[in-house]
Chain A
Amino acid sequence: MTDNPARKIVILGALSAMAVQSARRFAAEGASFTLVARDTALLEREAQDLGARGAARVDIVAADLTDTADADGLLRQAAGKMGGLDTVLLFYGVLGDQARAETDADHAGTIIAVNYSSAAHWVLAAARILEQMDAPAGRVLLTASSVAGDRGRRSNYVYGSAKAGLSVLMQGLAHKWAAMPNAPRAVNLRLGFVDTPMTADVEKTAKPLWATPERIALIVERCVKRPGPPTVYAPWFWRWVMVLIRLMPSPVFNKVNL
């Protein structure tokens, strides 16, 4: 791993288990952080933790990320406080309840607003700011999407469609930046099952498929530090699982209860 200068990182959804584990890896190298999530007390807990683990500076912003009215302003302010910005990590999301989303329009709306509409705003705002930044460590925008966006399934297609939107947005951004000299990098993680508080109530059948947040954090660290492809399956085997699922002809797929 290359020894880059310490990073200046904004984390949107900083209380997610994967965000927490990722931040710890950068803290040990003296990174600076702006942590954004809703709960002030829990953000303070994370800030203390990262400080003790070696972070150079940790600012917290308690905000509801579905409120995107001043997304640019928030990111600009964070960059001002940290003396720059080179890394934006977007980790927030809600799983929601598919059955409920089919009968309760508000619930469906929330799943879409959180996982796609608001995320899209933040991605576009982060892209605008990162394009203007000048950063020795290399600029990266990384989002956490899901393999649920690879093919609609009866068990979670509302969530899946929102994640599909996020994935396509990031793909497009990566395409744009690939054509620009000296551009930031866009990386979209397509996550399989991760054992986090968000999935605590999901029954963990097929245990070997479940990754820990620590394992995802290693992948995040690698993607941020090293140039690589814009779409990363995490862990890697999901690429091949999803190839099979996408290739399955509908008559077959429709018989499988997924």
Chain B
Amino acid sequence: MSERFHTERGRRSWGRVVDAEHRIGRAQTPGSVEALFASAKAAGLSTLAFGLGRSYGDSNLNPGGSLIETRGLDRFMAFDAAAGTLRAEAGVSLDEILRVVVPAGFFLPTTPGSRFVTLGGAIANDVHGKNHHGAGTFGRYVRSLTLARSDGAVQRISPETHAELFAATVGGLGLTGIILDAEIALTAIPSALIAQRVEAIRNVDHFFELAEVRAAEHEHTVAWIDCTAQGDRLGQGVFSSGDWASPGGHEAHSGRMGPSLPFDAPAMALNPVTLRSFNALYRWRQLSKPGLSTVHYSGFFYPLDAIGHWNRLYGPRGFYQYQSVIPFDQARDATRAMLERIARSGEGSFLAVLKTFGNTPSPGLLSFPMPGVTLALDFANHGAATLALMRDLDAIVLAAGGRLYPAKDGRMSAHAFQESYPDWRKVEALRDPLISSAFWRRVTHHDG
């Protein structure tokens, strides 16, 4: 077994904007993490955990330093179907977890929109799902975790035993150490099916009306917005809500993958015309079957996972994700202002998602969700124009007391970050001195 690093050029994250050289090491056993820390130290390299690379920007990259890939830590440790708990190593993917727990009648307490993320990555970003308004974030269901630090310490920590370190680690962007394993609470489900309601959203005001009503009625809600629409139709889109259906079987999703984009789409593929057509077509498709239907969870929670490497759709220069959250009192005006600015730019995105976050507090010092409205957008990387658009959006978000999601970010300023995440210094104080990331260096300006 090898605990050495090899050089890799061209490592990118999901948005594919940053293209960097790294030293890469693979952790195959919990013990090899310690050995890799030692190798990194000996080589004078900072390091960072890398899961399945589903973060979009630069929070999972460490150019000039090293990455420790955690996928080899993919063992289940204990699945207790009576208690509804699972303990597994941090490199296990949510995909693998679901294949084991769904047939036994369980689901993840909450899930992001891709099941190809690791347990460690889900904790490090304290991810949220369509049920945030009821369930809160993923980190709330972490009972304990094992954290390895570069000084050789390996500790099992929980909110009860190590409150501070736990709060810095959940949503902690991998900075406090490498999570070796975690125990999480699962949710019992009556079936693997979701009873879904799909309806049209006429405009921004209509979204706010619907969101309030549907979030009270349904466990899962999310809206897709056509960001090419302007004027009275600004914010038009499709609202979907869902609840676990009963009865029905407990069949996990199929392991077979759908088609995959084998190479970059030409940059031309995405332009205002194709974008407008796509949005019109998508809306028409969704609304051609409005009302109630029963669907498998895989289509409801993970529509994008059906197409492998869809991130190549944006061409070789990649794309930025931009996800913000705005507190409720400012949300309506700020959302309208953002959608107007985007529609005017003609840069609109294929995927614009609006959702409300509930009042359940997030357990992490750097957790993104807070009560309010979150908007997530993709922007193809067109260089300066795209960056200028995002800077304008930043101004709207910050003025409204909102913030951006580090998992999706590849360029927010240190000022924007520090203003909206005042607890960052506490995490910096608990950061493992060997660990660093491109994101963290940029938003805190430390050398390392």
Asked if A197 and B1 make an inter-chain contact with CB atoms under 8 angstroms apart, the answer reads yes
Asked if A46 and B75 make an inter-chain contact with CB atoms under 8 angstroms apart, the answer reads yes
18 additional A-B pairs beyond A45-B29, A52-B88, A52-B100, beta carbons within 8 Å, are A45-B77, A48-B77, A48-B78, A49-B77, A51-B76, A52-B76, A52-B77, A52-B78, A53-B76, A53-B100, A54-B100, A197-B26, A197-B28, A200-B1, A200-B4, A200-B26, A201-B2, A201-B4
Q: What are 8 of the A-B contact pairs (CB < 8 Å)?
A: A45-B77, A46-B75, A48-B75, A48-B76, A48-B77, A49-B75, A197-B28, A200-B2
- Verify if B79 is at the interface (C-beta below 8 Å from A): yes
- Verify if A62 is at the interface (C-beta below 8 Å from B): no
Q: What 0/1 pattern do residues 72 to 108 of B give for CB contact below 8 A with A?
A: 1001111100000010100000000001100000000
Near B by CB (< 8 A), chain A positions 178-232 give: 197, 200-201
- Distance in Å from the Cβ of A98 to the closest Cβ of chain B? 18
Question: What's the Cα separation between A153 and B88 when bound, in Å?
Answer: 43
Question: What's the Cα separation between A200 and B5 when bound, in Å?
Answer: 10
By secondary structure, the B interface counts as mixed
Question: What's the Cα separation between A28 and B4 when bound, in Å?
Answer: 33
Asked if A197 and B2 make an inter-chain contact with CB atoms under 8 angstroms apart, the answer reads yes
Residues on B with C-beta less than 8 A from A28 are 99
Asked if A52 and B79 make an inter-chain contact with CB atoms under 8 angstroms apart, the answer reads yes
- Verify if A42 is at the interface (C-beta below 8 Å from B): yes
Question: What's the Cα separation between A51 and B77 when bound, in Å?
Answer: 8
Residues on A with C-beta less than 8 A from B4 are 200-201
- Distance in Å from the Cβ of B31 to the closest Cβ of chain A? 8
Residue of A at shortest CB range from B99?
A28
Question: What's the Cα separation between A120 and B20 when bound, in Å?
Answer: 48
Question: What's the Cα separation between A201 and B75 when bound, in Å?
Answer: 23
Residues of B in contact (CB 8 Å), total: 16
Interface residues on A, range: 10 to 19
Binding site for A on B (CB under 8 A): 1-2, 4, 26, 28-29, 72, 75-79, 86, 88, 99-100
Residues on B with C-beta less than 8 A from A201 are 2, 4
- Distance in Å from the Cβ of B143 to the closest Cβ of chain A? 16
Question: What's the Cα separation between A46 and B76 when bound, in Å?
Answer: 9
Question: What's the Cα separation between A45 and B32 when bound, in Å?
Answer: 14
Count chain A CB atoms within 10 A of each CB in B1, B75, B86 and give the residue with the most.
B75
- Distance in Å from the Cβ of B61 to the closest Cβ of chain A? 21
- Distance in Å from the Cβ of B390 to the closest Cβ of chain A? 35
Near B by CB (< 8 A), chain A positions 24-69 give: 28, 42, 45-46, 48-49, 51-54
Question: What's the Cα separation between A51 and B75 when bound, in Å?
Answer: 10
- Distance in Å from the Cβ of A39 to the closest Cβ of chain B? 9
Question: What's the Cα separation between A52 and B87 when bound, in Å?
Answer: 9
Question: What's the Cα separation between A42 and B100 when bound, in Å?
Answer: 21
Question: What's the Cα separation between A48 and B72 when bound, in Å?
Answer: 16
Residue of A at shortest CB range from B100?
A53
Question: What's the Cα separation between A46 and B28 when bound, in Å?
Answer: 12
- Distance in Å from the Cβ of B226 to the closest Cβ of chain A? 39
Residues on B with C-beta less than 8 A from A49 are 75-77
Asked if B75 and A45 make an inter-chain contact with CB atoms under 8 angstroms apart, the answer reads yes
Residue of A at shortest CB range from B77?
A48
Residue of A at shortest CB range from B73?
A45
Residue of B at shortest CB range from A201?
B2
Question: What's the Cα separation between A42 and B1 when bound, in Å?
Answer: 13
Tell me whether A42 and B77 are in contact in the complex, defined as CB-CB below 8 angstroms, given that A197-B1, A200-B1 are known contacts.
no
